[in-house]
């Protein structure tokens, strides 16, 4: 949409995503991404950390369940979404403003880790999950048995695993 502030953040999760449910039963996961810039100081001949940005983030619906089931504290992630500003009153009655990231897409950074992607069992939405990483890994997603491409070593034919089975054109 026009006028929205869309950003991409690369950083580490400060804690496991917190999965909660609204009064209407709608899942929401909240988490914080810590992003610290590093620059090389040529005079000192060493890397120096800058000031860390701690950005609260949220995801909703089935996406929230995928995030909570896949990401864990310390994982390096790449998140893209829209900045939202929210005003509220604290316990002392003071007006406060918070800026949060409403995540559209998130996944593991593969710079220092590996991940095994699996398609989540679908209930009408689109999405997927992953497991793996260098910080203890994520919690594996349940695989849908009717998705041949999501099962490593599957003998079922699909557009990518069986060369020539669909000719030169992609099947979609």
DSSP string, 10-56: EEEESS--EEEE-TT--EEEEEEEEE--EEEETTTTEEEE-PPEEEE
- Report whether pLDDT(39) > 70: yes
Residue 166 lies inside a defined structural domain of this protein: no
- Report whether pLDDT(48) > 60: yes
Residue 148 lies inside a defined structural domain of this protein: no
Residue 38 lies inside a defined structural domain of this protein: yes
List the single range of 56-65, 85-94, 159-168 with lowest mean pLDDT: 159-168
Residue 153 lies inside a defined structural domain of this protein: no
The CATH number of whichever domain residue 65 belongs to comes to 2.40.50.140
Name residue 94's beta-bridge partners: none
Q: What is the mean pLDDT of residues 49-78?
A: 95
List the single range of 11-25, 59-73, 145-159 with lowest mean pLDDT: 145-159
Range of the domain at 26: 6-112
Name residue 79's beta-bridge partners: 9, 106
Number of structural domains the chain divides into:
1
Give 141's DSSP letter. Answer: P
Q: Which residue has the higher pLDDT, 53 or 160?
A: 53
Measured in degrees and rounded to the nearest 5, phi and psi for residue 12 equal -110, 145
Residue 93 lies inside a defined structural domain of this protein: yes
Residue 171 lies inside a defined structural domain of this protein: no
- Report whether pLDDT(53) > 90: yes
Residue 45 lies inside a defined structural domain of this protein: yes
Q: What pLDDT digit, counting tens, does each position of 103-148 carry? A: 999 999 999 888 888 887 766 544 444 444 444 444 444 444 444 4
User: Residue 41 burial by CB count (10 A; 0-12/13-18/19+): exposed, middle or buried?
Assistant: exposed
Residue 133 lies inside a defined structural domain of this protein: no
């Amino acid at each position: 949409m026009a006028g929205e502030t869309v950003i991409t953040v690369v950083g580490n999760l400060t804690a496991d995503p917190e999965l909660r449910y609204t009064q209407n039963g709608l899942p929401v996961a909240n988490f914080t991404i810590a992003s610290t810039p590093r620059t090389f100081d040529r005079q000192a001949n060493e890397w120096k950390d800058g000031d860390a940005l701690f950005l609260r983030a949220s995801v909703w619906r089935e996406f929230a369940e995928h995030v909570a089931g896949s990401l864990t504290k310390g994982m390096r992630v790449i998140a893209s979404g829209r900045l939202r500003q929210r005003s509220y009153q604290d316990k002392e009655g003071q007006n406060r403003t918070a800026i949060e990231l409403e995540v559209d897409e998130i996944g593991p950074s593969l710079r220092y880790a590996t991940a095994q992607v699996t398609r989540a069992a679908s209930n009408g939405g689109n999405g997927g999950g992953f497991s793996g990483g260098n910080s203890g890994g994520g919690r594996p997603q349940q695989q849908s048995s009717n998705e041949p491409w999501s099962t490593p070593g599957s003998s079922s034919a699909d557009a990518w695993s069986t060369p020539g089975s669909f000719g030169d054109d992609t099947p979609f």
